[in-house]
Chain A
Amino acid sequence: MLKVDGLSVLFRHRHGATTAVEDVSLDVARGEIHGLVGESGAGKSTIGAAVMGLLPAAGEITSGALTLGDTDLRALSAVEAHRLRGKRISMIFQDPQTSLNPLMTVEAQLVETLLAHEDISVDEARARAIALLDEIGIADAATRIRAWPHQFSGGMRQRVVIALALCTNPELIIADEPTTALDVAVQAQVLDLIRRLATKRGVGFILITHDIGVIAQVSDRVTVLRGGRVVEQGPTARVLGQPGQPYTKALMAAVPPLDRRLDRFRLPRVEGEREVPGSADAAREAEDWLMAGTGTGPGPALEMSDVTVRFRGERRGIFGARENFTALDTVSLSVRPGTVMGLVGESGSGKSTLAKVVAALVRPAEGEMRLDGAVLPPMGARRRSDPSRRIVQMVFQDPYSSLNSRHRVIDILGEPLWLYGLERDAGRRARLARAMLALVGLDATAAERHPHQFSGGQRQRIAVARALLSRPGLLLCDEPTSALDVSIQAQILNLLKDLQARFGLTTLFISHDLAVVRQMSEDIAVLKDGRLVETGPSETFFAGPAAQYSRDLLAQTPAVRFGMEAG
């Protein structure tokens, strides 16, 4: 059906041009789901955009043939190409929150798309839209159709997006990271829906994702991409089962296995790429400084009893009164000194709120917290000079907003030393900061640069360095690697594991990814809608979770079930 032959795409910018995609060929048959996988920057989305004719202004197809059935897509005029979009090819984007026009009802958007391509009456269009919503799995479609987009949950909204892409019976749908923004449970349902549409309606899919689990679960054939070039291509079972190329092997290995625990993450190292070594002796200087501070003993124990957090709800509409929203409901939890407690739950379960309560960024309505027995004052009561300000440190989720882009790295790292009076002299502060950079695997020249000159992974390393420079006892990690590619994620997690082990830091590690939590934590706690569902040692949990919710959660996590032999 779709045939891409030798496609190359060039991006022009001020320093000349870079080739985003080079000599890529693939074809998609009717009803086939063709996976496009690779790390960020591999050119997956660019291929999708090229097929749709929606390349950004700076992009340009330099060579290659794109044919859909017997239509040469590159020969189409702008008007013909636009008429073809939606009619024969449709596209789905990543974030359902922003994919729908907030000011138009779902019905209006569906009817408009239908009438754009078929001259049928409005009533007919509405009837078809309602039928389609039913088929997609939206209950009581006839009334829900008249609702506004913001009245649907994330998963439901993605179903509406799929309906919109589907309503004109396209031959091909390009899905660009359709499930990345969704929770594990919802992700499974959406992937099933795509599977059903492919087989039942014969719609061809290009499924673009960086998550190998998703590819393994749904796609028929797969193309592995790296730096804009095809690394390997073929039926998914074969490519993922017996990867021919070393890069594919390495990519597969980097995915944290769910079925057993490794002592360290396997780094997807391919020959010819050298590990950037921090200078060893500088790292040791930082290590000794840290040792001197925290001493050899393990970090403090953290106990939380009956912690409850209520948020004043947003004022709903003109006449709605404010209803309070309970984010955490009497949560009691304790983290043994020097150990890692994994905190797992879907988005909206309150796991981030819990971390923020400990970090005094959110005020708990009730409940008490203790650090090594001593009362840990909550937000409002914890004065700026309270010792816990130094002992409790946090690494945030979004690497791009956790560092102040206007400050140089040397200033960012020097701040805790100055704030807690750990190092009076500016010169020694600078030395120590450079030493800590080495400890987290970055070279000393990074000190003079600004955050926007670093990749996501490097920024998280700087964030960790900043946390360590307060000689912390308790480290809170709020999904530190969920925004990173698999390979970078592995490096950061290894770093955290080493530092935690060496300095005995008590750590609360938060993630929505069970596989990552299994590798990181000795104990585990599962949160659902602000309530603690289950807690206990990880190994016993992964052997057989007690709570039914935990079992479902475990089942729905896409795992690479191709019998990978140990790395």
Chain B
Amino acid sequence: MPERGRLARLMRSEGVWLFSRSPAAILAAIVTVLIVAGALMAPWIAPTNPYDLASFSLFDGLLPPAWEEGGDPRFLLGTDDQGRDMLSAILYGARLSLSIAAMAMAVALVLGVGLGLAAGYLGGRFDAVVMRIADVQLALPAILTALLIDGISRGLLPRDLHDDLRIAVITLAIALSLWVNFARTARASVFVERQKDYVQAAIMMGQHPLRIMARHILPNIVGPLLVIATVDLASAILLEATLSFLGVGLPADSPSLGTLIRIGMQYLLSGEWWILWMPTVFLVVLVVAINLLGDFLRDLFNPSLR
């Protein structure tokens, strides 16, 4: 009975009602779900597998989209310089970008909320140390973190792990430059919740600090963190693209959206407009949708705005 109850309660809840009233949020949600679904099912719905080098040939290079003259029906959105089908490359790329962004978000969430929660709750020296670490992290631009991790991991790990290492490097680099947001938000929310009576009661009863943080405070600060999460998911995807632009990104033979855009940049003026604009438009639509969802969540969790 409780399961149906919870679902029923969710359906009637304030959030869903508000959601049904704002067209932008609905559109954003649909677009996001479509893109994520498309990306996740890439191996099944994409015409070819762009990571399998034998599946495309150089002869089909630089073909315009199918509807343009000179286009090839096999390649709906045309091909890139290598003869890779743009549609498949974008779907696989989106899958890679989204998985990297999601993994980076997860790491940043755990690291940031963990440290932020502890800093806010324990205060004093621990708080100062965490905040100074945050300063150090803010001072290091994402590109440097990527370089640092790439270098260290290349130095420590055996050679044959090097290529699938690159994805881990990028994920960690992005995560490291995002956790500070979560730490600061979590810390600020904990300061507020710590004064509330239900936390004072838990302290008085002698509950273990970890349990107080995890079971009592954390569920109550999920709201603002969720908002940061959606906004940062968008910036994580963009960051991956920028890192690729600066030459620290993913290898070219397993491209992410960012790598596709970097490759596309070389053809900006050379007439093959689709190599750049297809992935860029896809990225923009995805990021705008996620940001709109983030805005909606921010308004939902910010009671004063309702």
The short answer to whether A and B are in direct contact, CB under 8 Å, is: yes
A interface residue numbers (CB < 8 A to B)? 14, 356, 359-361, 382, 384-386, 389, 392-394, 396-398, 401-407, 415-416, 419, 448, 466, 470
Q: Which residues of the partner chain A approach B246 to less than 8 Å between Cβ atoms?
A: none
Given A360-B204, A470-B205, do A401 and B220 touch, yes or no (CB 8 Å)?
no
User: Is the beta-carbon distance between B197 and A398 smaller than 8 angstroms?
Assistant: yes
A419: chain B residues at CB < 8 Å are 205-207
B216 interface residue (CB < 8 Å to A): yes
Known: A389-B206, A470-B205. A361 touches B200 (CB 8 A): yes
Q: If A14-B17, A389-B205, A389-B206 touch, does A397 touch B197 (CB 8 Å cutoff)?
A: yes
- Residues of chain B with a CB closer than 8 A to A14's CB: 17
Q: How many residues of B contact A (CB 8 A)?
A: 18
Please report the C-alpha to C-alpha distance between residue A385 and residue B198 in the assembled complex, in whole angstroms. 20
With a cutoff of 8 Å between Cβ atoms, the chain A residues found around residue B204 in the complex are 359-361, 389, 392-394
Residues of B within 8 A of A397 (CB): 197
Report A-chain residues with C-beta under 8 Å of the C-beta of B155.
none
Q: Chain B contact residues: over half helix, strand or loop, or mixed?
A: helix
Closest A residue by C-beta to B5:
A448
Which chain B residues lie closer than 8 Å to A402 at the CB level?
Answer: 197-198, 201
Q: A404 near B206 (CB under 8 angstroms)?
A: no
Whether B206 and A403, one on each chain, are in contact in the complex, defined by CB atoms closer than 8 angstroms, is no
- Considering only CB atoms, which chain B residue lies closest to A395 in the complex? B201
Q: For residue B125, which residues in chain A have a CB less than 8 angstroms away from its CB? A: none
- Asked whether A394 lies within 8 Å of B201 as measured between CB atoms, the reply is yes
B197 touches A401 (CB 8 A): yes
In the assembled complex, the CB of A35 is this many whole angstroms from the nearest CB of chain B, namely 31
CB-based contact A404/B200 at 8 Å: no
Interface pair B205/A401, CB less than 8 Å apart: no
User: Hey, which chain A residues are within 8 Å of B216, CB to CB?
Assistant: 404, 407
Known: A359-B204, A361-B204, A396-B200. 4 other contacts (CB 8 A): A384-B207, A392-B204, A401-B196, A448-B2
Give B52-94 interface residues, CB cut-off 8 Å to A. none
Q: Mark B160-184, 1 if CB is under 8 A from A, else 0.
A: 0000000000000000000000000
Q: Give the number of A-B contacts (CB < 8 Å).
A: 53
Determine whether B11 belongs to the interface, using a CB cutoff of 8 Å to chain A: no
A466 to B202: give the CA distance in the assembly, Å.
11
List residues of B (196-250) whose CB comes within 8 Å of A's CBs.
Answer: 196-198, 200-201, 203-208, 215-216, 219-220
Name 22 A/B residue pairs within 8 A (Cβ), A-sorted: A361-B200, A361-B204, A384-B206, A386-B206, A389-B205, A389-B206, A393-B204, A393-B205, A396-B197, A397-B197, A398-B197, A401-B198, A402-B197, A402-B198, A403-B198, A404-B220, A405-B220, A406-B220, A407-B215, A419-B205, A419-B207, A470-B205
Residue of B nearest to A394 (CB): B204
B203 A361 Cβ-Cβ under 8 A: yes
Q: In the complex, what residues of A have CB within 8 A of residue B215's CB?
A: 407
Complex Cα–Cα for A384 and B198 (A): 17
- Residues of B26-65 at the interface with A, using a CB-CB cut-off of 8 Å, are none
Q: How many angstroms from the CA of A360 to the CA of B207 in the assembled complex?
A: 13
Closest to A385 in B: B206
Contact A415 B17 (CB under 8 A): no
The listed residue with most A CB atoms (<10 A of its CB), out of B2, B17, B200, B205, is: B205
* Chain B residues whose CB sits within 8 angstroms of the CB of A359 once the complex forms: 204
**Given contacts A394-B201, A405-B220, A384 and B196 within 8 Å (CB-CB):** no
Q: Within 8 Å CB of A401, what residues of B?
A: 196-198
A interface, over-half SS: loop
Q: How far is the CB of A449 from chain B (nearest CB, A)?
A: 10
Closest 10 CB pairs of A and B: A389-B206, A406-B219, A402-B197, A396-B197, A384-B206, A401-B196, A404-B198, A359-B204, A401-B197, A14-B17
Q: Complex formed: what's the CA distance from A137 to B167 in Å?
A: 72
The answer for the CA separation of A85 and B294 in the assembled complex, in Å, is 39
B218 to A, closest residue via Cβ: A406
Separation of A356 and B195 alpha carbons in the complex (Å): 13
B208 touches A384 (CB 8 A): yes
Residues of B near A394 (CB, < 8 A) are: 201, 204
CB of B270 to closest CB in A, whole Å: 55
Bound complex: CA A415 to CA B215 (Å)? 11
Point out the residues of chain B lying under 8 angstroms from A393, CB to CB.
Answer: 204-205
Q: Which residue of B lies closest to A383 (CB)?
A: B206
A534 to chain B, nearest CB (A): 29
Residue of B nearest to A389 (CB): B206
B205 to A416, Cβ gap below 8 A? yes
Q: Are B205 and A415 in contact (CB under 8 A)?
A: yes
Chain B's nearest CB lies how many Å from the CB of A166? 30
Residues of B within 8 A of A386 (CB): 206
Bound-complex Cα distance A38 to B206 (A): 41
Give A394 to B198 CA distance when docked, in angstroms: 11
Best-surrounded residue of A402, A403, A416 (most CB of chain B within 10 A)? A402
Residues on the B chain within 8 Å of A405, using CB: 220
Chain B CB within 10 A, most for which of A14, A356, A361, A404: A404
Q: Mark B1-19, 1 if CB is under 8 A from A, else 0.
A: 0100100000000000100
**Which B residues touch A382, using CB under 8 A?**
206
* Alpha-carbon distance A343/B196, docked complex (angstroms): 23
Which residues in B have their C-beta under 8 angstroms from that of A398?
197
Task: Report the bound CA distance from A365 to B234 in whole Å.
Answer: 51
Q: Specify the chain A residue showing the minimal Cβ separation from B1.
A: A448
Residues of A within 8 A of B208 (CB): 384
In angstroms, Cα B197 to Cα A225, docked, is 33
* CB-nearest residue of chain A to B18: A14
CA distance A40 to B153 in the complex (A): 64
Chain B hits for A470, CB < 8 A:
205
Which residues of A are found within 8 Å of B205, using beta-carbon distances? 389, 393, 415-416, 419, 470
* B5 contacts across to A, CB distance below 8 A: 448
Shortest C-beta distance, A284 to chain B (Å), equals 26
Which residues from A are CB-within-8-Å of B201? 394, 396, 402, 466
Q: Whole-angstrom distance between the alpha carbons of A193 and B270 in the complex? A: 82
- The answer for the CA separation of A448 and B3 in the assembled complex, in Å, is 12
Measured CB to CB, the closest approach of chain B to A376, in angstroms, equals 13
The residues of A that contact B17 with a CB separation of less than 8 Å are 14
Q: What's the least CB distance linking B306 to chain A, in Å?
A: 11
Which residue in chain B gives the minimum CB-CB distance to A463?
A: B201
Cα-based distance from A14 to B206 in the complex (angstroms): 42
Cα of A403 to Cα of B208 in the assembled complex, Å: 18
Give, as a whole number of angstroms, the nearest-CB distance from A330 to chain B. Answer: 24
Shortest distance between the CB of B257 and any CB in chain A (Å): 37
* Chain B proximity of A118: nearest CB distance (Å): 35
Contacts of A385 in B (CB 8 A): 206
